[in-house]
């Protein structure tokens, strides 16, 4: 059987306009797929040069397949469960700068180069004081990028039209701002000159981003069946869900250069990404965290099964649409669309997401993902959000560590686990609730000071302990 490459299948060749730091599953299932769609539907003509950002990587394997790979998208699309696949051909070649640094640096001389994309893990955007301009290569991703930008600056004499649009995808807050800050730090420490600093500031655009797509990656458990279906061998098959979202914060000029709208891609260009970040944390992550203790104590183990259960599913939908969404400032249409997309993602039959895998560090997750909705709901409605507080009562019950006589494998900070063990061993239910809610180390505030909140949580917790989660939740419907 033939291995996938450009001699065994017909594939397009594009102008190299994008340099991409990272060749892993996420970028190939996310950014490269979108570039592929824009090339196909909007004549974007954007070829990608993939750069291996660390010493170990997939560049050799990628080059063996001439940059080609098969992407499977599995999930709910237009209300139906769909699995579809196609060959992605936007990557033109890969470079390992640890073996071919001169080839890497030569990209700076390409007059067509316009974009930089990266995903080098959360730790990738970091300053390394040991990096030097004449290293081949620099250890850090920002160090490598600074060297490339400086070479480009010198090659084109600081021409303003040879600056780049830099779009990092690392999962850190204000990723573009942080990357630019580090590059300017290298510029100062390497004595690259004020003209270069001015060129970076004036002629290069650093975007902040929010990225969202679940990418399970290489389907090793079913690769034999996939290979038989495809009729060729592909060592870089990657799976992703149907849903995708790319929020790019930058000037309007960026949107004008990326033809996503005509392709129906869910790329949002904005001058303020914070409402979108808040939406994701509150709705997607907040719904996950609210669901875990309720669904698990109800007797369900998977996210999808929770949504398919009439009672648990209704509880979560009520929490999302009637308690979380009203605390957010985006339009009702946007919030409803995103919420429905989240529910479709939770129901994805191709992904089995265990509730216990989401339960890690649930106390801190409730603080960052759910509590802001609780506090904002109280502020806006002058009322208490019954579902989100029921989830809090369920969380306290969850940390008792028992589900119908079976121990729960709790995973959290040792201090958190020790606190709950002490409370549940030595105190009454009312004392446990008071101690949890007043623990400012958990919440950053004393929740007992919110009128009526302690009484609601105590009542719900007593009901859960006396009747069980199933009877308690059934009675709420």
Beta bridge partners of 240: 73
CB contact at 8 A, 396 and 424: no
Question: Is the C-alpha dihedral spanning 37, 265, 255, 24 positive or negative?
Answer: negative
Q: What is the DSSP string of 277-324?
A: HHHIIIIIIHHHHHHHHHHHHHT--BHHHHHHSHHHHHHHHHHIIIII
The number of angstroms, rounded, from the C-alpha of 472 to the middle of its chain's C-alpha atoms is: 34
Do 261 and 350 sit in the same domain of this protein?
A: no
Is the pLDDT at 122 greater than 80? The verdict is no
Tens-digit pLDDT profile for residues 245-303 = 999 999 999 999 999 999 999 999 999 999 999 999 999 999 999 999 999 999 999 99
Span 53-61, average pLDDT? 94
Look at residues 237, 255, 271 and tell me which one is the last residue of a structural domain.
271
Q: What is the DSSP string of 210-246?
A: EEE----B--GGGHHHHHHHHTSB-TT-EEEES--EE
Do 242 and 335 sit in the same domain of this protein?
A: no
Beta bridge partners of 208: 249
Look at residues 227, 256, 271 and tell me which one is the last residue of a structural domain.
271
Q: Which residue has the tokens 């892993």?
A: 24
Residue 404 makes CB contacts below 8 A (sequence gap 6+) with 299, 468
Record the tokens describing residue 326, joined without a space: 């009203």
Do 296 and 359 sit in the same domain of this protein?
A: yes
Return mean pLDDT, the chain.
96
Do 143 and 24 sit in the same domain of this protein?
A: yes
In this predicted structure, what is the pLDDT of residue 129?
A: 97
Span 55-70, average pLDDT? 96
Is the pLDDT at 425 greater than 90? The verdict is yes
Number of Cβ within 10 Å of residue 299's Cβ equals 14
CB contact at 8 A, 355 and 295: yes
Tens-digit pLDDT profile for residues 335-357 = 999 999 999 999 999 988 899 99
- The answer to the question of residue 20 being in a domain is yes
- The answer to the question of residue 359 being in a domain is yes
How far is the C-alpha of 274 from the C-alpha of 278, rounded, in Å?
6
Do 278 and 171 sit in the same domain of this protein?
A: no
CB contact at 8 A, 293 and 391: yes
- The answer to the question of residue 5 being in a domain is no
The number of angstroms, rounded, from the C-alpha of 360 to the middle of its chain's C-alpha atoms is: 17
Do 319 and 257 sit in the same domain of this protein?
A: no
- The answer to the question of residue 2 being in a domain is no
How far is the C-alpha of 384 from the C-alpha of 363, rounded, in Å?
20
How far is the C-alpha of 366 from the C-alpha of 233, rounded, in Å?
44
We report the CATH number of the domain holding residue 147 as 3.40.50.720
Do 237 and 299 sit in the same domain of this protein?
A: no
Look at residues 243, 271, 299 and tell me which one is the last residue of a structural domain.
271
Banded model confidence at residue 366, pLDDT cuts 50, 70, 90: very high
435 or 404: which carries more pLDDT confidence? Answer: 435
Do 45 and 193 sit in the same domain of this protein?
A: yes
DSSP assignment, residue 107?
A: G
Do 254 and 279 sit in the same domain of this protein?
A: no
Record the tokens describing residue 14, joined without a space: 């594009």
Do 138 and 156 sit in the same domain of this protein?
A: yes
Record the tokens describing residue 166, joined without a space: 């830099």
We report the CATH number of the domain holding residue 416 as 1.10.1040.10
In this predicted structure, what is the pLDDT of residue 353?
A: 86
DSSP assignment, residue 362?
A: H
Which domain does 41 fall in, by range?
16-271
**What's the alpha-carbon Rg for the chain, to the nearest Å?**
25
CB contact at 8 A, 459 and 467: no
Banded model confidence at residue 28, pLDDT cuts 50, 70, 90: very high
Do 139 and 151 sit in the same domain of this protein?
A: yes
- The answer to the question of residue 7 being in a domain is no
In this predicted structure, what is the pLDDT of residue 352?
A: 82
Residue 281 makes CB contacts below 8 A (sequence gap 6+) with 368, 369, 372
Banded model confidence at residue 121, pLDDT cuts 50, 70, 90: confident
Is the pLDDT at 442 greater than 80? The verdict is yes
Tens-digit pLDDT profile for residues 67-92 = 999 999 999 998 899 999 999 999 99
Span 392-402, average pLDDT? 98
**Number of domains forming the structure of the chain:** 2
Greatest Cα pair distance in the chain: 76
Banded model confidence at residue 322, pLDDT cuts 50, 70, 90: very high
- The answer to the question of residue 181 being in a domain is yes
In this predicted structure, what is the pLDDT of residue 74?
A: 96
Is the pLDDT at 422 greater than 80? The verdict is yes
- The answer to the question of residue 280 being in a domain is yes
Question: Alpha helices of 204-262 — where are they, by DSSP H?
Answer: 223-230, 252-257
Span 63-70, average pLDDT? 98
DSSP assignment, residue 261?
A: G
Do 278 and 164 sit in the same domain of this protein?
A: no
* Pairing mode, strands 208-212 and 245-249: antiparallel
- The answer to the question of residue 261 being in a domain is yes
Closest CA to 184 of 115, 19, 208, 176: 176
pTM for the predicted model, two decimal places: 0.90
């Amino acid at each position: 059987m033939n291995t996938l490459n450009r001699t065994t299948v017909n594939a397009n060749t594009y102008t190299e306009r994008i340099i991409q730091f990272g060749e892993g599953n996420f970028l190939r299932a996310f950014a490269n797929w979108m570039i592929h769609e824009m090339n196909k539907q909007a004549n974007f003509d954007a070829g990608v040069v993939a750069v291996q950002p660390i010493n170990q990587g997939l560049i050799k394997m990628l080059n063996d397949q001439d940059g080609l790979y098969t992407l499977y998208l599995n999930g709910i699309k237009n209300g139906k469960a769909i699995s579809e696949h196609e060959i992605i051909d936007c990557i033109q070649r890969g470079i390992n700068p640890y073996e071919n640094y001169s080839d890497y640096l030569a990209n700076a001389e390409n007059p067509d180069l316009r974009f930089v994309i990266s995903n080098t893990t959360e730790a990738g955007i970091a300053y390394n004081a040991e990096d030097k301009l004449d290293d081949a290569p620099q250890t850090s991703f920002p160090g490598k990028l600074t060297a490339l930008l400086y070479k480009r600056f010198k090659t084109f004499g600081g021409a303003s039209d040879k600056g780049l649009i830099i779009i990092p995808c690392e999962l850190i807050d204000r990723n573009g701002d942080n990357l630019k800050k580090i590059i300017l730090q290298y510029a100062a420490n390497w004595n690259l000159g004020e003209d270069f600093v001015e060129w970076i500031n004036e002629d290069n655009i650093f975007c902040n981003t929010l990225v969202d797509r679940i990418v399970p990656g290489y389907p090793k458990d079913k690769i034999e069946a996939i290979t038989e279906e495809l009729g060729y061998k592909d060592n870089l098959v990657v799976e992703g869900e149907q849903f995708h979202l790319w929020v790019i914060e930058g000037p309007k000029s960026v949107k004008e250069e990326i033809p996503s709208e005509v392709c129906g891609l869910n790329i949002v260009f904005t001058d303020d990404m914070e409402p979108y970040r808040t939406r994701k944390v509150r709705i997607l992550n907040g719904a996950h965290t609210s669901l875990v203790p309720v669904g698990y104590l109800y007797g369900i183990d998977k996210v999808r099964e929770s949504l398919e259960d009439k009672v648990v599913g209704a509880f979560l939908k009520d929490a999302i649409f009637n308690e979380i969404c009203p605390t957010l400032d985006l339009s009702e249409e946007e919030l409803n669309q995103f919420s429905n997309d989240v529910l479709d993602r939770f129901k994805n039959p191709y992904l089995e997401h265990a509730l216990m895998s989401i339960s890690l560090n649930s106390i801190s997750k409730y603080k960052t993902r759910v509590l802001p909705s609780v506090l904002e709901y109280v502020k806006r409605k002058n009322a208490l959000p019954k579902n989100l507080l029921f989830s809090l009562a369920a969380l306290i019950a969850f940390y008792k560590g028992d589900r119908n006589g079976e121990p729960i494998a709790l995973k959290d900070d040792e201090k958190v686990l020790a606190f709950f063990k002490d409370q549940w061993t030595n105190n009454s239910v009312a004392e446990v609730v008071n101690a949890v809610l007043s623990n400012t180390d958990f919440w950053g505030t004393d929740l007992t000071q919110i009128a009526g909140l302690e009484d609601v949580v105590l009542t719900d917790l007593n009901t859960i302990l006396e009747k069980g989660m199933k009877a308690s939740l059934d009675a709420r419907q």
